[in-house]
Chain A
């Protein structure tokens, strides 16, 4: 008989729920929202398929059988990727000249350097600064931090023109380093890392000091391992930001030799050159090349990205 016992609160709650018919309605709500979301997601994911299958379609099919999108008339082909990567045009391809070379290998490497190298360097610099602000008590550190935070009101547009000329004056305007170095002073990531470091118990650090650890050892052996979640999240955001940035690389290298461009600058150039039925396939192939690294990262780390964004309320 024991299993039939119900407390009075449970009984009342049960009765109330029953009276309101909550459960049934909740079920209906779930099904309705499932249907709406499924329909929405199918529409929203379509462009990915358009891009992917469009890139696998030969230029003849694009011109003469444009409606056969997902099953190209004469089968799938890698023709567009050959045009993009090796400038290997098919024999019957109409004459096509570009003023700048499609140096997509260079663009890819530059973008990797900017996104990965820039992110790693920033994580090091910003986490050291965050460590100093949280765990070392020095004079005026609150004032200093308040100044840094207040400077977040100033949008990037205010400094970009000055930065461009400053980089020129420093002689970095031909160097790929200029892609990453100006980002090292960013406040947002440091702020995020600092907020997380504040949740690390101070006692832990103090006892480590007692044991004779110096600051570098504490940073390396205690704070970094404990803070690796936030570093990972900030790293993901930094990578995506670096990968998707168009404005700054364009300001730096937009009018220079195409070998210095990043993928975004180069792709923008390709698109502006490919607004015809023959060439749109190669632009779509470029889109796929551009998307794959970010997509792979998203698939692997989507929970971290979403949770990190929800937790920090970051907006980029």
Chain B
């Protein structure tokens, strides 16, 4: 008698545990599945698919007809098999890198200076903070209309031409040329409107992050330095900058990465042009084209490119992504000790501890 009861108990126990298990993992599956499914379908799968496309003669709109072509697109990028296409790619790449290197000091130091001023808490500093961040929420195209109007030519009554009499064909003329080795670099005036548009609305988040960093610096450090008779400049160099080192590094990297992907500004303002005469008719053949512009030209804007060299677009985007991925990997390594911002390091630490 006793034995059977015990057995029953055990069975009931087992059954309850199984139900509990099913319930728990059922809930996990139910709750997590939508996200994981989306992640796998629209991140993992496209990544693999993109690599596959870049290795085949894939045509957009005709999947299933492709065949592998011995990394043909990569040889176009890395060797001078088709010198003009090679040149168009690397010119676009160079534009992106140089522009983001130029933008970095601007997009970090200007917000830093403003954040220091706002942090002195002058009257109405909250209003200033909102106004300074305001341009950063403006949609790219809305900002584009303003800068288009400013930089139209004299014959079209552009604002700068009319107000200040600056008679430059901003989107046609070449600013200056210089030669390094046997390569001539031709810098177009069109970079100025693009630069100004980025200067106007391209660093708002840096400003907010740096402001938050400044607030966290202990006030008594400043008081102590006052007693020691430090000048304002010395205070900035020896207290402020070290105090927000983490935020500065974050801003530095995110700015580089952000401007490497420059696309909208030059698409809206200059349409990638003025064209380089030898490269016209190729993707990214303009004096203001960037690497994203090169890719978008192939995969989105020109149907003809899309049906002939789609794989090149995939290959170019993977080369670019590898470049950016390395930089953001370095960023993650450098910012792993920070308090605000991505707490990736903490996630990793926890993971290691549990392991």
Please list the residues of chain A having a beta carbon within 8 angstroms of any beta carbon in chain B: 16-17, 19-20, 22, 26, 29-31, 33-34, 36-38, 40-41, 44-45, 47-48, 50-51, 54, 62-63, 66-67, 69, 125-126, 128-129, 131-133, 136, 138, 142-143, 145-146, 148-149, 151-166, 168-169, 181-185, 187, 190-191, 195, 215, 219, 240, 243-244, 246-247, 250-251, 254-255, 263-264, 267-268, 271-272, 274-277, 280, 283-284, 286-288, 290-291, 294-295, 298, 302, 305-306, 309-316
Measured CA separation A113–B212 after assembly (Å) = 33
Chain B 215-245 against A: per-residue CB contact (8 Å), 1 yes, 0 no? 0000000010011010010000000000000
**Nearest-CB residue, chain B, relative to A161:** B314
Once the chains bind, are B209 and A33 in contact (CB under 8 Å)? Answer: no
Contacts of A168 in B (CB 8 A): 60-61, 63
Which of B122, B133, B149, B267 meets A54, CB within 8 Å?
B149
Interface segment among B8-16, B83-91, B135-143, B176-184: the answer is: B135-143
Contacts of A263 in B (CB 8 A): 139, 141
Min distance, Cβ A109 to any Cβ of chain B, angstroms:
16
Contacts of B348 in A (CB 8 A): 146, 149
Measured CA separation A79–B27 after assembly (Å) = 58
The answer to whether A157 and B261 touch (CB under 8 A), given A129-B35, A131-B31, A314-B205, is: yes
Q: Is the interface of A mostly helix, strand, loop or mixed?
A: helix
Residue B3 is within 8 A (CB to CB) of chain A in the complex: no
Top 5 A-B pairs ranked by shortest CB distance? A313-B341, A162-B46, A162-B50, A158-B321, A310-B212
**Nearest-CB residue, chain B, relative to A54:** B149
Once the chains bind, are A311 and B212 in contact (CB under 8 Å)? Answer: yes
Chain B 121-162 against A: per-residue CB contact (8 Å), 1 yes, 0 no? 111110011111111011111111111111010001101001
Min distance, Cβ A239 to any Cβ of chain B, angstroms:
11
Once the chains bind, are A298 and B134 in contact (CB under 8 Å)? Answer: yes
**Nearest-CB residue, chain B, relative to A169:** B63
Measured CA separation A254–B292 after assembly (Å) = 15
The answer to whether A30 and B122 touch (CB under 8 A), given A128-B31, A161-B317, A306-B208, is: yes
Residue B324 is within 8 A (CB to CB) of chain A in the complex: yes
Contacts of B264 in A (CB 8 A): 246-247, 268
Task: Give the size category of B's interface with A.
Answer: 35 or more
Once the chains bind, are A163 and B46 in contact (CB under 8 Å)? Answer: yes
Once the chains bind, are A37 and B347 in contact (CB under 8 Å)? Answer: no
**Nearest-CB residue, chain A, relative to B303:** A255
Of the candidates B206, B229, B296, the one having the most CB atoms from chain A within 10 angstroms of its own CB is B296
Measured CA separation A309–B211 after assembly (Å) = 11
Once the chains bind, are A251 and B35 in contact (CB under 8 Å)? Answer: no
Residue B22 is within 8 A (CB to CB) of chain A in the complex: no
Residue B301 is within 8 A (CB to CB) of chain A in the complex: yes
Once the chains bind, are B39 and A185 in contact (CB under 8 Å)? Answer: yes
Which of A37, A152, A287 meets B146, CB within 8 Å?
A287
Residue B38 is within 8 A (CB to CB) of chain A in the complex: yes
What would be 22 A-B contacts, judged by CB atoms less than 8 Å apart?
A33-B118, A34-B124, A37-B128, A44-B131, A44-B132, A44-B135, A47-B200, A69-B159, A148-B39, A157-B321, A159-B42, A165-B53, A182-B42, A185-B39, A280-B152, A284-B145, A286-B141, A295-B138, A309-B208, A313-B247, A314-B205, A315-B206
